[in-house]
Structure 1
Amino acid sequence: MATADLPLVTIVTPSYNQGRFIEETVQSVFSQDYPNLEYLVFDGGSRDGTVDILRKYSDRLWFVSERDRGQSHAINKGFRKAKGEIVAFLNSDDTYLPGAVCAAVRALQENPQAPMVYGEGNHVREDGTVMDRYPTEPFSYSRLRETCFICQPTTFMRSSAVRAIGYVNESLHYCMDYDLWIRLSKLGAPVYVNQLLATSRLYSENKTLGQRRQMHWEIARNWKDHLGEVPTAWVFALAHAILETRWKFDRTKPRDNALFVSSLTALSALLFLYFNQEIKPEESRQLREWAGWLVNGVAKKLRMG
């Protein structure tokens, strides 16, 4: 098929002071074997050498470096400028793997009703070595309510679908991608591609690891906006995140572990009431299990004493 017959794909990279990673990101885009690409980089005014790196590639990409209102705003600027029939955003510390764009375009062409596609991804360390596989699953909306199994850099969307849902929610700073999948999936089921498409970098300074508690609060509030309640799994996840980031429990020690479980039980109950104004039977069963474990532990100590 001639290049002119292939749909234009626009890749958008939001960036801010990621000079140590961005060249690898850029090169992963240019190493794709798909011939009809538009590449846009929206830098938030970096002062770490990012702009010098981008200038090296200015004959192959378009970029601007100016203050913005954060990652979500930068992505939207890119999506609004994009000319592509298909759009994607690749963060400035992530990379595409060979053949990613071709695989995504093929899947969208074979599934004309799908608003987006996604595939398998690897978590990588700061130095780029592989940590593990992202826990990706074939699409299920009920599962999407419980966990974000879609690896962001593996996603490619129809620009018409992104426009139809009103672009990225700029009020979100941690789960803007998860929210995007939720809203796009209301237009039709996303298509899962069983192929490694990208890497997602995890390190202490990025949002996923460095600001875990804030991220889980935002996810919970976002589900409350969508559903009027927060799914069970996300309430428990928020309780874990609050406890594990605010207090240091050594759960190999029986006393610390008991304190953690008792705190988790109480905090989870409070969060269910705060968000959902009720504790459902299945949630109550889990809380009773934890409470029962504590009671049994105390009883065992009394018998031994």
Structure 2
Amino acid sequence: MSPCVSLVVPAYNAEHYLAEALDSLLAQDYGNLEIIVVNDGSTDRTASILEGYADQVVVLQQSNQGQSASLNRAWQQASGDILGYLSADDRLEPNAVSKLVAALAEDEQRMLVYPDYWLIDHEGRRLKQIIAPAFDHFEVVINGFCPVGPGALLRRCVLEQIGGWDARLRLIPDWDFLLRVGLCGKVYHYPETLAAFRVHEQSQTFRAPDEQRAAEYTIAVQSFFSRSDVPASLARQQFRSLANTQVLTARLHLLARRWRKAAGALIEASRCWPGWPTRYRNLKLLANGLFGLPRLRARNALRAWLRQRLDQPSRR
């Protein structure tokens, strides 16, 4: 019998895209699937939308506690030996679960599998195909890299070994989790595009975080290196890791136009590892902090103008 898979959708004020996300899960060709939605204290139409799915999904109601607490609660109550989650504005291809379950079954040492994915806009149009790189724990820990996008599945035993998502973190709990997952066993990249990640102005990718959330990279790195099971090869690179995560912190301050805070983070990065400016990715991150949101707005405005022009009847 196929193993039970439990997919969790944390939903906070998700009225615009929730139905699309749930429909993509209900369209899966994998039979033994449990869908759990956590309404995390929404104040919009999320609750009424979920009423229409009451006989198809499990709905958990709670006051607003954040994505991490929502996932941890739902995973604890889930029936599946294989677990996953989907953001309420993303979606999966119909064969995603079946293919990823098969990939897990091929090697019992694989603890987590993740696919390639599409970037889509607020209307669901495909913008770009993302070919995710293979998982490299060194890159994740030292360079702040997060190769795993939507659609990932993991074995329940991973949670039993390292715990769930850190409820203190609201911005980067997924990256913090990957830091620890890399200590458990193999993390496998499945080379097929099976999910879609939505990019819009309200998405976390472009939302300017407050100062508390901008500090989460430092919290996550310090917590990881305090573990007793961190390999010596990684422990020796702790200050380089701290420097690179300070660059990530600076990017978040730039998004929020907190110039002094951004400068302070870069000064701290230089104290930890003076070589941080030699990494092209660090410079690219800073450019994204400066120009990422304006670029998205300009691109959306151009597309809207082009669609309007194309929809107008031709004049003779």
**Shorter-chain TM-score tier:** 0.7 to 0.9
Change (3 A) 1:27 1:284: closer
- How do residues 51-130 of structure 1 correspond to structure 2 at under 5 angstroms? 51-130=47-126
Once residues 12 and 52 of structure 2 are traced to their aligned partners in structure 1, the CA distance between those partners, rounded to angstroms, is 17
2:223 corresponds to which residue?
A: 225
2:164 corresponds to which residue?
A: 167
**Post-superposition offset of 1:126:** 1.4
Does structure 1 residue 211 correspond to structure 2 residue 216? no
1:257 corresponds to which residue?
A: none
- How do residues 1-305 of structure 1 correspond to structure 2 at under 5 angstroms? 5-134=1-130, 136-145=132-141, 146-211=143-208, 216-227=214-225, 229=239, 231=241, 232-246=243-257, 268-273=266-271, 276=272, 279-280=273-274, 282-283=275-276
**Post-superposition offset of 1:128:** 1.3
**Post-superposition offset of 1:124:** 1.5
Once residues 37 and 277 of structure 2 are traced to their aligned partners in structure 1, the CA distance between those partners, rounded to angstroms, is 48
Any gaps of 5 or more consecutive residues in structure 1?
249-259, 291-305
Q: Is this contact kept in 1: 2:162–2:181, CA < 8 A?
A: yes
**Post-superposition offset of 1:197:** 1.7
Q: Is this contact kept in 2: 1:224–1:230, CA < 8 A?
A: no
**Post-superposition offset of 1:91:** 1.2
Tell me which moved more, 138-147 or 99-108: 138-147
Change (3 A) 1:173 1:244: closer
Q: 3-state SS of the aligned residue for 1:246?
A: coil
Once residues 114 and 152 of structure 2 are traced to their aligned partners in structure 1, the CA distance between those partners, rounded to angstroms, is 4
Q: Return the index of the structure with the highest Cα Rg.
A: 1
Q: 3-state SS of the aligned residue for 2:202?
A: coil
1:298 corresponds to which residue?
A: none
**Cα deviation digits, residues 63-101 of structure 1 (max 9, x gap):** 022314211111111100011010001111111112110
Once residues 99 and 75 of structure 2 are traced to their aligned partners in structure 1, the CA distance between those partners, rounded to angstroms, is 21
**Post-superposition offset of 1:12:** 0.6
Q: Is this contact kept in 2: 1:235–1:272, CA < 8 A?
A: no
Amino acid at match of 1:233: N
Q: Is this contact kept in 2: 1:12–1:78, CA < 8 A?
A: yes
Tell me which moved more, 16-25 or 199-208: 199-208
Q: Is this contact kept in 2: 1:93–1:201, CA < 8 A?
A: yes
Root-mean-square deviation over aligned CA pairs: 2.6
Once residues 43 and 210 of structure 2 are traced to their aligned partners in structure 1, the CA distance between those partners, rounded to angstroms, is 28
Amino acid at match of 2:60: V
Q: Is this contact kept in 2: 1:223–1:230, CA < 8 A?
A: no
Q: 3-state SS of the aligned residue for 1:19?
A: coil
Tell me the TM-score normalised to structure 2 length: 0.76
Once residues 145 and 277 of structure 2 are traced to their aligned partners in structure 1, the CA distance between those partners, rounded to angstroms, is 24
Q: 3-state SS of the aligned residue for 1:27?
A: helix
Change (3 A) 1:237 1:170: closer
**Post-superposition offset of 1:216:** 4.7
Tell me the TM-score normalised to structure 1 length: 0.78
Change (3 A) 1:220 1:33: same
Q: 3-state SS of the aligned residue for 1:105?
A: helix
Amino acid at match of 2:108: P
**Post-superposition offset of 1:285:** 6.4
Amino acid at match of 1:133: Q
Once residues 276 and 16 of structure 2 are traced to their aligned partners in structure 1, the CA distance between those partners, rounded to angstroms, is 45
**Post-superposition offset of 1:163:** 2.2
How many pairs align? Answer: 265
Amino acid at match of 2:249: L
